[in-house]
Chain A
């Protein structure tokens, strides 16, 4: 469109290219904000279509005020959402003023005020002026005061101040000015001047544009805000807040995903056939009868237990018929005398799997035996010994017991074990690690050592140097507390993904990435990865995509520039740039505190309301020690009433009353 608006806006856009920041995502905006904090205020504008009059108005404003404020322009709807717009699909241009200059701490957010009028040069000008001068002071009668607001066609509120209460009045005026900023100008008038002749019975006045001053008496600051917001300005109430609060206001809705999902199953009769219910009478016998007894201790009323028991039954069904392994459960609500009914969830998997043929080894690494515990971890560690008489076997078995629940171990002590290390530079006994079916095994020689040394060796070899992060294995890798170099790859194994994986793998061996944890997430296998990307960047860019996230050390997330090819040398260069602060973060990881998700039900407040003295501490005067004293006094009184009258009055015995 080549009209005046388009030309002016585009010319100014090029002229002001450095003054007006262009942002796509909330993260980028946050970055601008954090740079501006305590420095300058920000004007954010959302221009859905460039080249229209609104765009021009903004650019003109930027031309005038560009040195004073940081101007930010966006076209994306993500930022709209971030600014609290409910319906981002409407193509209205919008503008906000972010008060970043005055924030006291850098961690505080910048308070934002939306401009409620349509975007044009005059309105923007007015709005910015109002942002500047929330409170003016004067020594004249309201009708004589000349403030910028009147020229701008904005209502003005006048407050009168007495010399004695000046401090207090000023504080009130300031609060009001902040609350009404952008919509109403506030003027504080000092009565000590002889020019002020307003009657003392009023302490406030207001003047709407093109109207006369109206006087009134101010009772509370809230009253004035209400007056303006609800009656005089009559503009939109904020629809957004209500919706949010409604959401969980019904106290009887479960807001815990585990509790709710278990509760929805309350009608489901769990088929406990494959799991033996133990009692204190049967516990000992069962445990001694089977080689491996897995016992789940649970409480019926604990949602986490009941969610877990569903998976447990599935495992039991899968293991049905396996010799020597028995899955059992103990209802700790009933059998308190069995050990210490613990609340932690013990491992399900017996350790190690004793494998007796190469076929079984195959099954363990990628066949049926593998799939049984696939959901736990794809990693399998296999101890290979030439015979069961090998000295290391007992040590390995002991280590396996120690690793119960952490690692799925197999033991193959057989003459065929030799085949599995054939052609490799490793001799038996050996440790074979399979990361996942189809991936080449890694083999390590197994020195004869103590079980605890074996445990740390196994733990070490088990960790991949370039792991695929999954829901199951993340905790093991986060323990390393290294910044993540995280590659997201799409559902389909495209050549691009394979190439990207290879490119990152390349510098691994040289140790250049040692300070990082290079890892990847496959959005097909781990769909939740998509939500992670969205949280990081505010949107999901075309895959594969590489980000650096410094979970423990910093809050910033860096995005490998999508326009650059994902190649080893580019990656190293980029890491270098990030480390030198030459890259702008693409997003932030909030360090939000996980406070209570819903306000609690305040019984004390309700007691105070419904029975005011009920929950109140006693007055210090009454020194009745305990409750029993109190009671005692109570029933002394009625007795005395029944005391016969001291005079030998014939009526006296009547005082004996029947119950």
Chain B
């Protein structure tokens, strides 16, 4: 399929060359692709009233989802009932919606299924475009992107199939991944691709099927034919990684894992590991050519000279040499489910981002702030930007990249419009409460754990709270956010999974003791305190498995079974003490009476009294609460500590007693 497409593209390019004089359009921002990432960026650009256009080659948004997943079941969770009404919190369990300021523009309007039908997603995206009035140009198939100099800044010129060129000061590439990943081996032409296999299980009736790959698409395919195929084997280099063990949603989700059951219960299906580059698929005629049968063999067993694999003998098959070789039986079909890669081919050399070092080079290499490496003013968004957190976090998925897109937009606003990263100015006495709020409801750091984190710039008696900054870009914080740093240091709030992943379901998997909070398995908030901004070198040399370099002090908030970090002993107080250490100040709260005492007997009363009581926002409390505090020994009882000898109290009490007696008598009369 990709081959055909490429042919079409080259024809288009040739055509545009012939015409020569075509319309040219210019925009400040060009967003390439109207998938979820492109539309998400479109929303932010439209909200900040920027000159932008979203270019889409198909007739509607999210065309990837018109085809994929082939078996039409989305495995992103659409959890509508959370028992909570907090909209921010609920986004933690809504993996399909895009971010917007419309409270009801959520995916649950389209579908109420936990695992919705794939057709619902493009429908949702259309609704999103329509209700927000996003500027999308459909049918503009960009075949060529080249870098160009616009008044000293690098910009990009995009050319579509009609020869129309778009001049873009800033290019936002959200083309997704749609080129199927292939591996070259002998006989790869005998293999069917995930993109084109039939989805009707009946077509697999009583067939032996070999699937190359062990990801979600491989298992999804297996699951669909499980009831019809006679034997399903899955072959790929690495063993199955289960999402519920690795906490990476790109690994095998339990929704698709029925084959694990039939494998382990010995019901004719199985998983095998081996390199893809070493294998070959060969065809042997059976039953006089009536039935096509395919064998998996190794390149080295084939005749090296002729490359002629039409005449395959038993000698060429592993089973000939090893009688119990696992994959010795023939297959009726071999299916390739190896995922997708980024389409680098539309970029001219000058505009082409390098291949990422990770993810087998399938993705473009980008900086920590999502700008292409070596391609200034071109940013990569969405699934294509997953090289930043490949196999680590959720940046390759809608529920993750909707937040990175928002972060990139803030960076754009700062870089091109000098609008600093939004920050909330908080008095230090309210910082703890604010952190607890974020920890208990924020969806960005929760979904993009280890990648996006809140930054708290300490400024003495107040602080600036920046939400969801890309952590790897921390050394460039000032330039990217437009927020200067002072010598008071900074705090970073990150959600993290534990690092020593033991038996996910075994005993001792959960930690409830807050003093052991740094050794958990589950997602929990972590705070890092730095005196000065970490440098790029610090960042490179950070401890193995850490998202950030070693800080001056660190605080892990113990994982919580309910993900509610609101308990006074296990959560709030340890957090307060950590903040007290970082800020070198007492952050305890005091009742007005205590503040009264401290304000008159100390030249600088504690922060809570200065920022609350002395600003006429004291907390009086009531006698019931004071009683508790006194019993706990935290508040002095000023009524009780009258030292005898200095007072005429005894005689005074007597006088009162008299009065009481007298009045009682009067009453009796």
- A residues adjacent to B (C-beta < 8 A): 251-252, 254-265, 279-280, 299-304, 307-308, 310-311, 314, 332-337, 343-345, 375, 405-406, 469-472, 474-476, 478, 484, 490-492, 526-532, 535-536, 539-542, 549, 551-552, 555, 589-604, 606-607, 613-620, 623, 625-632, 635, 638-639, 642-644, 646, 648, 650-659
**Pick the contact of A595 from B585, B591, B618 — CB < 8 Å?**
B585
Establish whether residues A643 and B436, one from each chain, have CB atoms under 8 Å apart when the complex forms: no
16 new A-B pairs (CB below 8 Å) besides A375-B620, A628-B390, A656-B318? Answer: A256-B588, A257-B588, A258-B625, A333-B441, A345-B619, A406-B616, A492-B652, A532-B600, A535-B601, A591-B604, A599-B577, A625-B540, A628-B391, A635-B238, A653-B298, A653-B318
Among residues of A, the one whose C-beta sits closest to the C-beta of B576 is A256
Contact A590 B517 (CB under 8 A): no
**Contact present for A257 and B540 (CB under 8 Å):** no
6 tightest Cβ-Cβ pairs between the two chains A and B: A301-B566, A653-B318, A650-B321, A261-B628, A600-B581, A596-B580
Cα of A128 to Cα of B88 in the assembled complex, Å: 71
Separation of A255 and B615 alpha carbons in the complex (Å): 24
* CA gap between A530 and B638 in the complex, in Å: 7
Query: When the two chains form their complex, are residues B298 and A334 in contact, meaning their CB atoms are under 8 A apart?
Result: no
Name the prevailing secondary structure of the A interface residues: loop
Return chain B residues, CB-CB under 8 Å to A549: 600
Asked if B632 CB lies within 8 Å of chain A CBs, one says: yes
Question: Are B87 and A618 within 8 A (Cβ)?
Answer: no
The stretch among B9-17, B168-176, B182-190, B265-273 that forms the contact with chain A is B265-273
Task: Tell whether B538 is near chain A: CB-to-CB under 8 Å.
Answer: yes
List residues of chain B with CB within 8 A of the CB of A542: 646-647
**B327 interface residue (CB < 8 Å to A):** yes
Q: Take A337-B87, A596-B585, A603-B554 as given contacts and tell me if A475 and B103 are in contact as well, using a CB distance cutoff of 8 Å.
A: no
B273 touches A642 (CB 8 A): yes
B608-635 residues with Cβ-Cβ distance < 8 A to A are 613-622, 624-629, 631-632, 634-635
Chain B residues, CB < 8 A from A539? 643, 646
Whether B274 is near chain A, meaning CB under 8 Å from some CB there, is: yes
Given A257-B588, A474-B596, A648-B301, does the pair A601, B628 have CB atoms closer than 8 Å?
no
CA A600 – CA B359 in complex, angstroms?
Answer: 41
Contact indicator A555/B603 (Cβ below 8 Å): yes
Q: Which of A252, A344, A596, A628 touches B359 (beta carbons < 8 Å)?
A: A628
Contact between B625 and A307 (Cβ–Cβ < 8 Å)?
Answer: yes
Q: List B505-548 residues whose CB lies under 8 Å from chain A.
A: 515, 517-518, 537-538, 540-547
Could you jot down 29 A-B contacts, CB within 8 Å?
A: A257-B635, A259-B573, A259-B589, A261-B621, A261-B626, A261-B632, A300-B566, A344-B617, A471-B592, A471-B596, A471-B620, A474-B596, A474-B599, A530-B638, A530-B642, A531-B636, A532-B597, A532-B601, A535-B601, A552-B603, A593-B604, A615-B546, A623-B540, A628-B390, A629-B358, A642-B275, A653-B298, A658-B270, A658-B271
Neighbouring B residues of A478 by C-beta, 8 Å: 599, 614
Choice from B103, B278, B589, B639 contacting A257 with Cβ under 8 Å = B589
List of A residues within 8 angstroms of B270 by Cβ:
658
- Beta-carbon contact of B646 and A299 below 8 Å: no
Contact, CB under 8 Å: B603 / A254 = no
Interface residues of B in 544-592 (CB under 8 A from A): 544-547, 549-551, 553-556, 566-569, 572-574, 576-578, 580-581, 584-586, 588-592
Q: Does A656 lie within 8 Å of B327, measured CB to CB?
A: yes
Separation of A126 and B176 alpha carbons in the complex (Å): 88
| B180 is an interface residue with CB less than 8 A from chain A | no
Complex contacts, A643 vs chain B, CB 8 Å: 275, 278
Asked if A626 and B592 sit within 8 Å, CB to CB, the answer is no
- Residues of B with C-beta under 8 A to A531: 597, 601, 636, 638, 641
Of listed A308, A598, A623, A626, residue having the most chain B CB within 10 A: A626
Check A527 against B639 for contact (C-beta < 8 Å).
yes
Least CB separation from A630: chain B residue? B544
B577 touches A257 (CB 8 A): no
Most buried by B among A304, A491, A616, A646: A304
Chain B neighbourhood of A279, CB < 8 A: 85
Q: Which of B84, B472, B596 contacts A334 (CB 8 A)?
A: B84
Find A659's partner among B240, B275, B430, B632 (CB 8 Å cutoff).
B240
- Are the C-beta atoms of B543 and A615 separated by less than 8 Å? yes
Residues from chain B with a CB closer than 8 A to the CB of A590 are 602-603
Bound complex: CA A81 to CA B334 (Å): 88
Q: Which residues of A contact B103 (CB under 8 A)?
A: 337
Interface centre among A337, A619, A628 (most CB of B within 10 A): A628
Contact of A254 with B652 in the complex, beta carbons under 8 Å: no
**A254/B581 in contact, CB under 8 A:** no
With both beta carbons as reference points, the residue of chain B lying nearest to A592 in the complex is identified as B602
* Residue of A258, A261, A300, A607 touching B518 (CB-CB under 8 A): A607
B384 contacts A by Cβ under 8 Å? no
Contacting residues, chain A, for B636 (C-beta < 8 A): 528, 531
Whether B416 is near chain A, meaning CB under 8 Å from some CB there, is no
| A595–B556 CA distance with the chains assembled, in angstroms | 22
What is the 8 Å Cβ interface bit string for chain B, positions 630-668, against chain A (1 contact, 0 not)?
011011101101110011000010000000000000000
Residues of A within 8 A of B578 (CB): 600-601
Could you tell me the distance in whole angstroms from the C-beta of A331 to the nearest C-beta in chain B? Answer: 9
> Which residues of A are found within 8 Å of B325, using beta-carbon distances?
653-654, 656
Kindly state whether residue B310 has any CB partner on chain A within 8 Å: no
Enumerate chain A residues within 8 angstroms of B597, measured Cβ to Cβ.
528, 531-532, 535
Closest residue on chain B to residue A616 by CB atoms? B543
Chain A hits for B476, CB < 8 A = none
Closest B residue to A302 by CB, please name it: B433
Given contacts A589-B603, A604-B550, contact A656 B300 (CB under 8 A): no
A600→B553 contact, CB < 8 A: yes
Tell me how far the C-beta of B593 lies from the nearest C-beta in chain A, rounded to whole angstroms.
Answer: 5
Q: Is there an interface contact between B545 and A627, defined as CB atoms closer than 8 Å?
A: yes
**What 1/0 flags go to B67-103 for Cβ under 8 Å of A?**
0000000000000000011111100000000000001
Q: Tell me whether A264 and B628 are in contact in the complex, defined as CB-CB below 8 angstroms, given that A311-B621, A535-B601, A615-B550 are known contacts.
A: yes
Residues of B within 8 A of A310 (CB): 621-622, 624-625
B326 interface hit (Cβ, 8 Å): yes
* Nearest CB in chain A: distance from B272 CB, A: 6
Question: Which B residues lie within 8 Å of A646 (CB)?
Answer: 300
In the complex, whether B161 has a CB less than 8 A from a CB of chain A is no
A334 vs B555: C-alpha distance when bound (angstroms): 26
Q: How far is the CB of A468 from chain B (nearest CB, A)?
A: 13
Residues A644 and B540 in contact, CB atoms below 8 Å apart: no
The answer to whether B602 and A257 touch across the interface, beta carbons within 8 angstroms, is: no
A628 near B392: Cβ-Cβ < 8 Å: yes
Q: Which residues of B contact A336 (CB under 8 A)?
A: 86-89, 441
- What CA separation (Å) do A613 and B578 show in the bound complex? 23
Shortest C-beta distance, A183 to chain B (Å), equals: 35
For residue B66, CB closer than 8 A to chain A, the reply is no
CB distance from B437 to the nearest CB of A (A): 7
- Measured in the bound complex, the distance between the Cα atoms of B275 and A171 in whole Å is 68
CB–CB A620/B652 < 8 A? no
Whether the pair A314, B603 counts as a contact (CB closer than 8 A) is no
Q: Which of B572, B600, B615 contacts A474 (CB 8 A)?
A: B600
Q: Once bound together, how far apart are the Cα atoms of A405 and B616, in whole Å? A: 9
B237 within 8 A of A: yes
Verify if B606 is at the interface (C-beta below 8 Å from A): yes
Query: What chain A residues lie within 8 Å of B434 (beta carbons)?
Result: 343
B139 within 8 A of partner (CB): no
A299 touches B433 (CB 8 A): yes
Chain A residues with Cβ under 8 A from B358's Cβ? 626, 628-629, 631-632
Asked if B543 and A617 make an inter-chain contact with CB atoms under 8 angstroms apart, the answer reads: yes
- A343 contact set on B, CB distance < 8 A: 430, 433-434
Least distance between B475 CB and chain A CB atoms (Å): 14
Given A478-B614, A596-B585, verify A307-B621 contact (CB < 8 Å): yes
B239 within 8 Å of A (CB atoms): yes
Contacts of A653 in B (CB 8 A): 298, 318-319, 321-322, 325
Q: How far is the CA of A474 from the CA of B618 in the complex (A)?
A: 11
- Contact A652:B321 (CB < 8 A) given known A258-B591, A475-B616, A531-B638: yes
